[in-house]
Structure 1
Amino acid sequence: MEHIRLTDTSHRLFYEAWELYEQAFPLEERRPLLWQLEIMPHADYHFEVVLQEEELLGILLWWGFEEVRFLEHFATAAALRGQGHGRSILQTFVKHDKHPVLLEVEPPESEINRRRIRFYEQNGFNLNPHFYQQPPYHQGQQPVTLLLMSYPGTISAEDAAAFTRLHHPLIYRTAQ
């Protein structure tokens, strides 16, 4: 498995990766392309494509901060789901360094959301009980209520609030 960090759209796989991103996430949970292009060269942001023998297995879009890594978007190619690639990609990611990892999930109100939460739990993540507001990516939309999952342990409501205060201004372009 090969991870390649893209910092602009010139890589031959960018638009294939972007198509996977658009298919895997609803509009309210994804950044517009122009905004994406602005943040790709940011030192803390990682737009990674994951390849196996030149085939796109998945994408990992994450932020590396001093105290935590925030896995903003993670998806495997639709045709390759259910074959263990997602588990392998995720395990490689969490074991890559010692920093804890946070990610957002939708509340377990549907079977697909419960399956997604179980997937992360089977990979060592913990579902935290406090609700969390993801600021809107698009003007005119409302915040999205999500839950934070964390690896390797749980986080407190205070830690979640600190993450929001410190990093949302950059991630979601919220007012400073």
Structure 2
Amino acid sequence: MLAAFDKNNDSFNDILNIMHEAFPECETRTDERQRALLDNPHYKIMLCRGNGQKTAAFIAYWQLEGFVFIEHFAVSQALRGGGIGANFMREFLSFINMPVILEVEPPDTQAAIRRIEFYKRLGFKHNRFEYMQPPMREQFDYIRLDIMSCPQSFTKNEFLPLKNKIYKLVYGADV
């Protein structure tokens, strides 16, 4: 079920299509900038293949010093709700075997609450301190998000050096 993305053999367009279904424009880079990340040694993608070896889900993540930062995790819209995402994430966490950090929307909507609960069932901790995601496109501003982490939680001070790495390496933002 878990397979590393191979830019010479796998279709990045399949990943972009799922990404466009799952994320608002303000939470993604342009397709060109997203594709350029494939040459960054810290940026990696894991795939979950469905029937016919088509991409059913993906996890795009950054392998950083001492932890992994999940930038995007999404299941194809047609396949959501069947347990694929939970099984895929469990496999990913076993494979990575190091602390994992991701961003989620604050629990202000039912969809955001469901997403947070989904991650909690997988062992993630909801870190309740203020966090701002730097803009991924020039026309957007910082976005208020929450941090979830697995297996341990972080205080704001414990998270600060990790945030600095994320800002610098993932977003190219000033610390």
- Given the two structures, how large is their TM-score scaled by the length of structure 1? 0.92
Read off the aligned partner of 2:77 and give its amino acid letter: A
Which residue identity lines up with residue 5 of structure 2 in the other structure?
Answer: R
For 1:121, the equivalent position in structure 2 comes to 120
Equivalent residue, structure 2, for 1:101: 100
Please, what is the CA RMSD of the aligned residues? 1.5
Is the contact between residue 20 and residue 75 of structure 1 (CA under 8 Å) also seen in structure 2? yes
Matched, 1:26 2:24: yes
Structure 2 counterpart of 1:73, one-letter code: H
Paired positions, count: 174
Paired amino acid for 1:155: F
- Report the 3-state secondary structure (helix = DSSP H, G, I; strand = E; otherwise coil) of the residue aligned with 2:159: helix
Q: Do 1:101 and 1:150's aligned partners in 2 also have CA atoms closer than 8 Å?
A: yes
Asked if residue 17 in structure 1 is aligned to residue 15 in structure 2, the reply is: yes
- Indicate the percent of aligned positions where both proteins have the same amino acid: 28
SS at match of 1:133: strand
1:41-64 Cα offsets, whole Å, 9 max, x none, are: 211110233213403210110011
Q: Which residue of 2 aligns with 1:36?
A: 34
Tell me which amino acid in the other structure corresponds to 1:100: P
Gaps of 5+ in 1: none
Aligned partner of 1:3 in structure 2 is 3
Regions of 4+ moved over 6 Å: none
Describe the superposition over 1:135-166 as per-residue Cα deviations: whole angstroms up to 9, x where unpaired: 00111311000000000110121132211212
Structure 2 residue identity aligned to 1:123:
L
| Contact 1:6 1:46 survives alignment (8 Å) | no
Partner SS, residue 115 of structure 2 = helix
| 2:103–2:146 contact (8 Å) kept in structure 1 | yes
TM-score of the pair, normalised by structure 2? 0.93
Distance of 2:130 and 2:55 partners within structure 1: 33
Q: Runs of 5+ in structure 2 lacking a partner?
A: none
How far is the alpha carbon of 1:66 from its aligned partner? 1.9
The answer as to whether partners of 2:2 and 2:88 remain within 8 angstroms in 1 is no
- In the TM superposition, residue 13 of structure 1 has moved relative to its aligned partner by 2.4
Instruction: Kindly provide the amino acid, as one letter, of the partner of residue 54 in structure 2.
Output: E
CA contact (8 A) 2:2 2:46 kept: no
Q: Quick check: which one's helix share is greater?
A: 2
